[in-house]
Structure 1
Amino acid sequence: MTPSSVPIPVWYEPAPPPTPHPLLASETDIPDLCFDVGPLSWAEVDMSKRSAVPNRTLKKARAKTMATDVLCSTTPTANTECRSVTDSDSDSTDSSSNESEPESQEDADMKIPKPSGEVGRPGRGGYSLEQVLSWNPRRMSEFKKLINKLVGECLDPTRSVSSQSLSRVASLRDKALNKFPELDQYENLWPVTDAVKQRLKYTSSKARKHAHDAVAAEAVNRKSGKKLRSRRLQD
């Protein structure tokens, strides 16, 4: 019987191979295959090699923690340093800003020092109070009037500032500061002291001159009285 032929189209595409079925290795006929199917729990595992790195890391972490705890519990300064290390960046920024606050406060507390030299002697090693203060002329006039009034009320105008009572001088300074709060920016209220010194210098010198004139007038009166009596005796 002649075999029959089947015509094949020109663009013949073979069908895909059949899907392989999974088989166990023991069911195959591949030679020289050997598998160790022993349980994993029977395998000998070197635990020292497996835990070497974690143990070292853990020991280092524990040692670092213990050292930090010792430093923190030793002194308050170390405790502050430990807290600053563990704080966040924002906390460190806040602490640095807090450290700069005392410096700004010190700058704010700085007061104007007293110039060198003696008040009322400009061009001769001293200075003029009006020029140094550079106040408004009206404000300066009010300040001088107040000092003149307080000197007459609180102090002895016939004596110098070094001969005055300290408690009375302190009372005068407080009253002047109450009327002129801007005086607080000057160290030890030296404008008040200078103004009082100038006023007492004027009033004391005027009092001395008045006393000298009174003594001279009394001497003249005595001399004229003696002449008058002598004339009467001659008559």
Structure 2
Amino acid sequence: MLQFSTPVIPFYESEGPPQALPLLTYHTEMFCATLSHILISPQEEMAFSTLPLRGRTFSPSCVFMTTSRVTLPVPSRAPTPKVVKSVSFATENSKSDKVLTYSSLSSLSSKDSKILKPEGEAGRPGHGGYNLEKALNWDANCFKSLKECIHRSIKRYCDVDMSKKLQTPTALHEVHKEALTQFPELADYHGCWPVGDIIQMQLKNTSAKAQQKNSRK
């Protein structure tokens, strides 16, 4: 049998690039981790590492990047129910205050519109008092008729032996009522003070005379 041999140069030079060496099986398990990002919010970012390995399972690693606090919405409270009763009370109070204010103003205006009583005591012009006839400035006959009317009422309803302070309110009221009936213009005087002055002067005279009579006995 014939054998053929091929001569080989000691230092072989390949005409092309060297071929890649075959890799062992365990060398193929080398890997490079790749990251995939999942967007959670504009301020947070979560990264998962995906490792396509055979026979091995890796838990994903989470990376949180927080630049600002997350503001949670504040739960809105239910509106407080209105209490109708308190509102009605406030309205009633405001109305009552208005009524009181109006009544006080009307009383002040009515008082200002009426003729006020002069200072001092009637029948004592030289001792800090005043003359009633001059203060009224009535016609002489009209003033005389007024005095006679009040004197008749005093005899009918009052005890002429006592002063005005000792008379009953009912008796004084009846005298005032009859005087106003006969002379309606007395309503223009505050408190109807001309009638009160005539009653005081008349009962002062009659009670003084009664005391003199009793002292003589």
After TM superposition, the score normalised by the length of structure 2 is 0.49
More helix by percentage = 1
Greater strand share, structure number: 2
**Which one has a bigger Cα radius of gyration?**
2
Q: TM-score, normalised by structure 1?
A: 0.45
